Chain A
């Protein structure tokens, strides 16, 4: 694949699937500077993976896999960012001034508290992937997916009931 074709696909995918990538970034990083760092890491992995993309899988599934794998192995660069705490100056990622549903904020806060394995499963579950699809993406058995997803759902529902009592 030529580099120009690779660049063309890269830009097209970032443009078309940015909301998907933002969900992963938002789920794994909390500070603006970490979000940009993680988004950049994911973008690099996408760039490297483009020549290996085969049309057997949907692009969204392919990108989700890369995004989740990168996010799971990413670690926050605490020391580098301590000096930048006071101003979160992004270079390519700008927060849009949209009204965010507080329930969505709550949902992300719950996702942040999930373990390393439950987090990607939760994201895929919320995206509407079936157990079989999640099993194919992650590479674990469908029964394992089913048990974990059931637990995550029960946990989120019970947490939402507690939050409801506190007015959310």
Chain B
């Protein structure tokens, strides 16, 4: 079969489509999934920022109510810094998402950027969330009687958070980024 014949056979599909689409059903699926995608993509950022802000406000409130010393107020600063960091990163991510590739490679770059972002967030979770939180808790505890149960609970929560983010990083984000980059490299490699 010569190539011209293949293109004629290929073009037959323009006359007779292989499938019929139920447009209303498709449209409903798209609009519901579109909303879910946007919701879940933002959930991590908004939830963490909210947790940080609310925790900071609760600590501030408690410090004021109980007339705590200055260190109790200082302890809230890391929480607000965490929230600020998350929001700055979110704004940067959303700004970049406005750009559209224009080519398949451009779209891949866009996906790689998003994947890199998620990978970086989960890989560096210890530094931008856990460490400032631990510092805040440490400052807050200065001058207070040592509470073993509370410390074990907090340490346990930190360890759990650490393992969850490491699993997410290793199982989801890192392989995905690697796959996208490999695809991109294959595309741009000269044949």
* Contact indicator B2/A22 (Cβ below 8 Å): no
Interface residues of A in 84-143 (CB under 8 A from B): 91-96, 98, 100-101, 103-104, 107, 115-117, 120, 126-128, 136-141, 143
> Closest approach, in angstroms, between the C-beta of B2 and any C-beta of chain A?
7
Partner of A107, one of B6, B20, B31, B183: B6
Residues in A lying within 8 Å of B, measured CB to CB: 7, 10-11, 14-15, 18-19, 22-23, 26, 35, 40, 43-44, 47-49, 52, 65-66, 68-69, 72-73, 91-96, 98, 100-101, 103-104, 107, 115-117, 120, 126-128, 136-141, 143-144, 147-148, 151, 153, 156-157, 160-161, 163-164
Please classify the interface of chain A as helix (H, G, I), strand (E, B), loop, or mixed, using the class held by over half of its residues: helix
Question: Interface segment, B11-19, B60-68, B146-154?
Answer: B11-19
Alpha-carbon distance between A43 and B22 when the two chains are bound, in angstroms: 13
Interface size for chain B: under 10, 10 to 19, 20 to 34, or 35 or more residues? 35 or more
Tell me the smallest distance from the CB of A57 to a CB of chain B, in Å: 8
24 A-B residue pairs with Cβ-Cβ distance under 8 Å, sorted by A, are: A15-B23, A19-B13, A22-B13, A22-B17, A23-B10, A40-B29, A44-B34, A52-B100, A65-B107, A69-B104, A69-B111, A91-B22, A94-B19, A96-B16, A98-B16, A103-B9, A107-B6, A115-B186, A126-B6, A126-B7, A126-B10, A140-B187, A147-B190, A157-B2
Beta-carbon contact of B19 and A101 below 8 Å:
no
- CB neighbours (8 Å) of A100 from chain B are 18
What chain A residues lie within 8 Å of B101 (beta carbons)?
139
The answer, yes or no, to whether B157 is at the interface (CB within 8 Å) is no
Contacts A19-B13, A96-B19, A115-B186 given; 9 further ones with Cβ under 8 A?
A23-B13, A40-B33, A43-B26, A44-B37, A65-B103, A68-B104, A69-B111, A96-B17, A156-B6
Max chain B Cβ within 10 angstroms of own Cβ: one of A44, A138, A139, A157: A139
A142–B147 Cα distance when bound, in Å, is 69
A96 to B107, CA, bound (A): 32
